[in-house]
């Protein structure tokens, strides 16, 4: 699924959370949304996924509006896993599948669930209760729930928050692989260890686009040698100049014009 936004803005009362956002995400891309706390990352994710209305601008999905499209085209994984911890993995997915696909037979659902469990690397945990799973495995179950409806785009809000480095890497590798299968995968994150897995980075400052491009292009744009040096720059007062710098850059013309 291709998702494009033009002049996207989100307000809450008199407060402007997002302002004049322009993006173009393409099928098969793994997109990372980064920025300081309060920069609007989660708000942008919910607005692009259709879970939160935007105040200004336009969002197009494969060149058309979301209105009238089936809800299963976009999957959304929240930061906090919403899982019934007393259930076994297979049973939980079965309940979810029955609710979403009441017309499918028990055999069809069983085959689908087995396929998805293999896809997310949980085939050996199908009989394990959710409460016995690690944080990374629970996140994989949340992703598996969204994959039941074969979404064209998958949005994830801070999916690796609170995970140790090994589990963080495993979830990131899974998301990168899901994108390589042809889905658009978009996630918010503040963890930089696996940053090079992203095809594109969208960096927000004060609710505006400060950068969009590849991880290597980010190093050049911010004039740093390591991604970890970017966040301190975004916290300074002069960080407010980055949106205008990006708007007049070759990167803006390359990716967003």
User: Within its chain, how far is the Cα of 88 from the centroid?
Assistant: 26
From first to last of its 257 residues, what are the pLDDT tens digits of the chain? 999 999 999 999 899 999 999 999 999 999 999 999 999 999 999 999 988 889 999 999 998 887 655 555 899 999 999 999 999 999 999 999 999 899 999 999 999 999 999 999 999 999 999 999 999 999 999 999 999 999 999 999 999 988 899 999 999 999 999 999 999 999 999 889 999 999 999 999 999 999 999 999 999 999 999 999 999 999 888 899 999 999 999 999 999 98
Whether the Cβ atoms of residue 139 and residue 163 lie closer than 8 Å to each other: yes
Whether the Cβ atoms of residue 66 and residue 59 lie closer than 8 Å to each other: yes
d(CA 227, CA 29) in angstroms, rounded, equals 20
* CB within 8 Å of 195: residues ≥ 6 apart: 32, 201, 215, 227
Classified as helix, coil or strand, 128 is coil
Domains and CATH numbers, the chain: 3-255 (3.40.50.300)
């Amino acid at each position: 699924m291709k998702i494009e936004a033009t002049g996207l803005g989100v307000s809450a009362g008199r407060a402007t959370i997002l302002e004049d956002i322009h993006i173009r995400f393409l099928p098969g891309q793994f997109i990372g949304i980064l920025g300081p706390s309060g920069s609007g990352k989660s708000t942008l994710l919910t607005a692009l996924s259709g879970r939160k209305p935007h105040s200004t601008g336009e969002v197009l999905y494969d060149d058309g509006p979301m209105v009238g499209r089936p809800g299963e085209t976009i999957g959304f994984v929240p930061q906090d896993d919403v899982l019934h911890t007393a259930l076994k993995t297979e049973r939980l997915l079965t309940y979810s599948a029955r609710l979403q696909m009441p017309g499918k037979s028990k055999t069809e659902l069983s085959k689908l669930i087995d396929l998805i469990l293999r896809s997310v690397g949980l085939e050996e945990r199908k009989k394990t209760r959710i409460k016995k799973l690690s944080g990374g495995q629970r996140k994989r179950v949340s992703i598996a729930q969204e994959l039941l409806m074969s979404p064209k785009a998958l949005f994830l809000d801070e999916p690796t928050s609170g995970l140790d480095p090994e589990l963080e890497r495993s979830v990131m590798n899974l998301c990168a692989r899901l994108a390589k299968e042809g889905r658009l995968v978009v996630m918010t994150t503040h963890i930089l260890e696996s940053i090079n897995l992203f095809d594109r980075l969208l960096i927000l400052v004060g609710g505006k686009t400060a950068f969009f491009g590849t991880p290597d292009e980010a190093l050049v744009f911010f004039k740093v040698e390591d991604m970890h040096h970017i966040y301190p720059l975004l916290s300074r007062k002069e960080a407010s100049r980055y949106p205008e710098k990006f708007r007049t850059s070759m990167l803006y013309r390359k990716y967003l014009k």
